[in-house]
Structures are given as structure tokens and as C-alpha cells.
Structure 1
Amino acid sequence: MDATPKKPTAEPVEDLPPSSNRFIKFFADRTSQLPPNTIGALWILLAAFLFSIMVTLIKFLGQDLSVFQILVVRQALMLLIVAPKVLPGLPGSLATKRPGLQLTRIVFATSAMLLGFTAIIEMPLADATAISFSKTFFITIFAIWFLGEQVGKHRWGATIVGFLGVLLMLRPSGEGLVDPFALMALGSAACAGMVMIVIRILTRTDPPNTILTYQAMGVGLIMIIPAWMTWQAPTLEQWALLAAVGFFSWAGQMANIKAFQAGEATAIASLDYTRLLYATLFGALIFSQWPGVETLIGASVVIAASIYTVRREAIRGRQLARASDGRGYSN
């Protein structure tokens, strides 16, 4: 068996919107002479930073605006950004061989973002971010159920250890109660894991443009009615912050795609966990919130188990069920 890990397929640079090309060229010109894995590492570090800014802005906006309103504006802005790529393909870009799976992906992606954004708003940033890392272990379980993947004792062991770390982060009280927002963060991770499995199945029959179009339009449409019912007229400052959420969401996804285009997934994936450092820093400086000792210990267990899983699968020459644009509630 060829032990060389395969990189997930990603969209070529020339297929991205013109604005994407300018953003990519700015960074790529400054890294073009570096080794591929170093370039990938720099891109994924940038992606982690951009996504951390995004969730910080969401938490700040969530103090006054509903999560539905934030979501619908975010999706509308991201749809505008990718419009040069999506619109020319209509209606052909909506032709799918798996409409049921497209709908399933939209439902799970919406759930992941709705639960994840709510957890971000209501919990310390570091806590919500740390729990989101459990997505890796949900992917393992769902891959067994829906893809028929064979998982050995090492990966099962890492999955069990990782869930123990998650339970430590949930830290139930003496009465056996768990913070409901922590459960939302966990639910978001589970939904994000399911999104990754659905994407893996969809890519067998549908082109990336079709998957992108359904997700971009579907999530926004689902959010329109609840956003309208909870709408509050944003101030000029809030509109600026909402626009920034859309920009950093898009920029983070573009940086993430470039990371997996340039470097091997097994060499760079673990750097995504720097989001916990950013979340801790932003949470402390902006919201005066520090993660608890249980969160830090549990996150360390989850990260260690995740890295072990990725490295183990690399040695076996297998590719985990993940996609270069899959970022939990950041999808």
C-alpha cells in the first residue's frame, strides 16, 4: 500500500472568485519559495487566526443581535462574495444526482452553525472552541456507520480517550447537570462531523460547484424567517461588524482551502488547534473570560488524541473523512 498521504481535492485557484484570487495572490507571492508543507502550515495558521476573529465578532454582536440575524446576514454576504462563481452556472449548478443528500447537508450545516454560534455567544470563547475539536471523533463514528470504514483498536482507543477529554470539558456539576450551552457546542461538533461525511459521499457524484451552491443558498433561506421574526435594526457600527463577519468567514475558508492545496493534510492539520490559543487570548482581552483548568486539560487530551488519529492514519496510508473546507460551525 502506498503510504504517501493524499491531499483532499480542493478547487483550483483559477476557479475561485476574482476577489479570492487577489487575496490568495497577496499571500502566495510572499511564500512561493518555501517548501509545500511550510506554505500549507502558514496558510492554515492564517485560517485559524481569521476564523478566531470571526467567532470573536459573532460573540460581540450576539450581545445585542439574535444568532438568526447574524447567520442570515453572514450567509447573504458570503453568497455575494462567491456570486461571480455561482451565478454563471445557474441553473446547471443546481443539477444534482443526490438531492436528498444535498438537503441533508444543508440541515446539518445549519444546525452546526446555529448551535455553534449560540455556544460561542453564551460561553467563554476558549471553552466553545475546545469542545468543537471533538468533531474528529464524531467523524470516526459516522464513518463506520455510514461509510462502512474499518476502524482498528488504535483509532478506537484514541476516540474513547478523546471523548473522555470532552466529558472533562463538559464538567457536570455535583447534581449531574451539564451546561446546556456546552451541550450545544458538542451538538455543533457532531453536526459538523456529519457534514464531512455527507460531503465525502456527495463528491462521488456531484461537482464542487453544485455542493457550494446548495450550501450557500440553503442555509440562508432556512434562516430568513427566524431572522425576520427576531430582527433588530443594526446600528452603523453593527452593520460594519456584520460585514466583517462575512469577510473573515470567506477569507478563513479560502486560506483553509489553500492550506490543503499546498501541504499534506497529515503534516498541517494539527496546526488548526492554534485556534484555542487565539480564542483564549481574545476571550481574556475582550470579554475578560478565562478558560477553566478542566477545559485546558480536556482540550489537551482531545488535541493529543486527534493528532494521534491523524498520524496513525497517515502511517497506514489512509485519508480521513474530511474536506479542506470543513470547519465545523465555520462552514
Structure 2
Amino acid sequence: MTADDTHSRPHRPMLAIGLRLIAVICLSVMFVGGRIAANHGVNIVETVFYRQLIAMPVVFVAVLLTSGASSLRPHRIGVHASRMMAGVIGMGLNFLSYILLPPAEAAAIGFTMPIFGTILSALVLREATGIHRWSAVLLGFAGVVVMIRPDAGHFPMHGVLVAIAAAILTAITSLILRELGRTNPPGVTVFWFTVLSMGPLGIIMPFFAQSHDGFTWGLLVLIGTIGGLAQLCMTAALRFGPVATVLPMDYSAIIWTTLLGAAIGEGWPMATTWIGAVLIIASGLYIAWREHVRAIPPIVSPAIPPPD
């Protein structure tokens, strides 16, 4: 993307914020839907497979209407494949975290993604990371400790570890997306992520496929459709506003997952969950602000897996 491309984009911040908010709500519904599907006997492989399969035509049509068919010619297919592997595993872990933990707690731990992105940027990309961002990292980890209260046994520790692993994989995916974003439009990257994932998922799917009732199939269709819609809204949001404008909307996921969790009988989060979430959110926003000040491409989508 050139500087001219950036300047030619329409700047409509309220539209960008609205689209990002719709995306966050959709993804919250998608992950809670995955929890409900699991209660109806759907395994993780099925959930991820149908999520990708059903979203594929949605993404394909969107690319045709925006970038055009000619843009689908793959560039740097090896990097796309790496992004696909990290993205599929991360998606599966995110779905699993919502199964093992209450929705609000799973969402809050997912907010640690920019924290792990900062650590990986320093260790792998050798980006200069000063006292400000390291302090934010420590604040975020303090929020996790406050929220899960490991001495109290409120949540299964294996669920917490799955949620943390999902955040790490999402951070790795974001670093790969930084590289892909230099040469690929976002919609094209989404398309190849979806298409390439059908290979490994299609190979293992026969070992996990099951029959389901009509309600469960409808739920899987909803998960795939609303996931594809979320990708499109997130991509469109960044066409009308910068990351710094839309990023705070990601943290509203704690509200939507709390409401959805209550609606399906999960109850309300404890006070420590809210306190820990505030610390983690403050950490993520400060990291994003410091990256903006230092003109580093930010680690996007702290609340949820990156769309591209």
C-alpha cells in the first residue's frame, strides 16, 4: 500500500467505529455459539472446519466486489501458509477457551494478545522495546493474576492455559500479518487463509465428522456466516478509520460475552474478573498508544483473532 493509497481512503471515523463494533459483537456471538455447539456434541475440528467452509463464499464475494478477481493471484504463498497454520490453530484454541472457561473470562484473557505481541516483537523481530511498554506488559500480567486468582481455584487451570496459548498464537498471526500487509490487500489475505485452511482441515475432518440435529446444523451455519461477516466488517472498518480509532471497540467484547454468558445461564463474572480485565485493557491500550507514537504497525485486534 502506498502513501497515495492511504491518503485517498475516505476518513469516516464513526462508520469505522460502527463497523468494528458490529465485528466484535459478531465474533462474540460466534465464540459463544461454539460453546453452545460443544454442549450439543460438536467437536473443535468440526467447529473450525464449518466456520471456514461456510465463511469462504462470503469472503470470496466480498473480494470480487472490492479488489476484483485479478487480485486473488497469490503472492508469497509460503507466508500465507504460515499464517494459515498459526491462524487455524489459534482459532481452534480460542473456541476451546470459550468451552473451558466462562465467556467473559475467556474474552478477558484474550485481551493479553498485544502483551504477547510486544514480547514476541522484542525477542523475534528485535524491535526496540522501552520501559513504557515493558511496564504495560507487567501491568497486563498482573491483571491476569488478579482475574484468575490461581490460589482460589475459581477456574480450571487447563482452561486458563488454553486461553493464554490462544492469545500467543493470535499474536504470532498478527506478526505474520504485518509482513503480508506489505504486499497483499486485507481481503485477499482473508481469502487465502480460508482457502488454504480447507486442505489440512479437509484431511482430518473425516475422522471427526458426526451427524447432528437440525438445531446444531443451524448453529454451525450461524457460526460460519457470522464469522465471515465479522471478517468483512473488521476489514471495512480499517478502510474508513485508522487502527487507533477503531481498536478500543475490541475491548467491548467483555460486555457482549458477559451478556451472552448470562443469557445462556453462565451467570455474572466475579468482581476480580472486572478488576483484572480493566488492568489488561489498560495495558493493551497503552501498548497500542506507544506503538502509534513510535510509528510501529500496531498489533491489531487484541480482543479477538485478527481478521486478515
Normalised TM-score (structure 2): 0.85
**Aligned residue in 2 for 1:41:** 17
2:105 aligns with 127
Specify the alignment match of 1:251 in structure 2.
Answer: 229
Number of residue-to-residue matches in the alignment = 298
2:147·2:276 contact (CA, 8 Å) conserved in 1? Answer: yes
How far apart, in 2, do the equivalents of 1:302 and 1:217 lie? 34
Contact map agreement 1:111 1:191 (CA 8 A) in 2: yes
Which residue identity is paired with 2:95?
A: F
**How many angstroms apart in 2 are the aligned matches of 1:253 and 1:42?**
14
Using the alignment, how far apart are the partners of 2:149 and 2:242 within structure 1? 35
Structure 1 position 72 matched with structure 2 position 74: no
One-letter amino acid matched to 1:291: P
Cα distance 1:122–1:330, how it changes in 2: closer, same or farther (>3 A)?
A: farther
Relative to structure 1, is the Cα distance of residues 189 and 40 closer, same or farther in structure 2, using a 3 angstrom cutoff?
A: same
Are 2:93 and 2:166, in contact at CA under 8 Å, matched by a contact in 1? yes
1:321 to 298, 303, 307: 298
Percent same amino acid among aligned pairs?
25
Q: How far does the alpha carbon of each residue in 1:76-120 deviate from its partner, in whole angstroms, 9 at most, with x for none?
A: 111122234679859x84643351x32221121111111110111
- Alignment counterpart, residue 292 of structure 1, candidates 252, 257, 270: 270
Shift of 1:213: 3.7
The amino acid of 1:155's aligned partner reads R
Residue 159 of structure 1: aligned partner: 137
Equivalent position amino acid for 1:150 in 2:
A
Matching residue within 290, 308, 328 for 2:286: 308
Paired residue secondary structure (2:124)? helix
Q: Give 2:54's aligned amino acid.
A: L
Instruction: Decide whether the 8 Å contact of 1:51 with 1:330 is kept in 2.
Output: no
Tell me, yes or no, if structure 1 residue 222 matches structure 2 residue 176.
Answer: no
The alpha carbon displacement at 1:220 in A equals 2.8
Where does the alignment leave 5 or more consecutive residues of structure 1 unmatched? Answer: 1-5, 13-31
Worse-matched range after superposition: 132-141 or 228-237 = 228-237
CA contact under 8 A between 1:143 and 1:321: conserved in structure 2? no
Question: In the alignment, is the contact (CA less than 8 A) between 1:37 and 1:267 conserved in 2?
Answer: yes
Q: Is the 1:45–1:271 contact (alpha carbons within 8 Å) kept by the matching residues of 2?
A: yes
| Aligned pair partner of 2:81 in 95, 103, 106 | 103
Change (3 A) 1:210 1:252: closer
* TM-score of the two chains, using structure 1 as the length reference: 0.80
Computed over aligned residues only, the root mean square deviation of the Cα atoms, in angstroms, reads 3.0
Contact kept in structure 1, 2:110 and 2:304, CA below 8 Å: no
Asked if 2 retains the 8 angstrom alpha-carbon contact of 1:56 and 1:282, the reply is yes
Map 1:1-331 to 2 at 5 A. 36-63=12-39, 64-84=41-61, 89=69, 93=72, 95-97=74-76, 99=78, 101-173=79-151, 179-206=157-184, 208=186, 211-314=189-292, 316-323=293-300, 327-328=304-305
Change (3 A) 1:290 1:301: same
Distance 1:213 1:263 in 2: 22
> Distance between the aligned counterparts of 2:244 and 2:171, measured in 1?
18
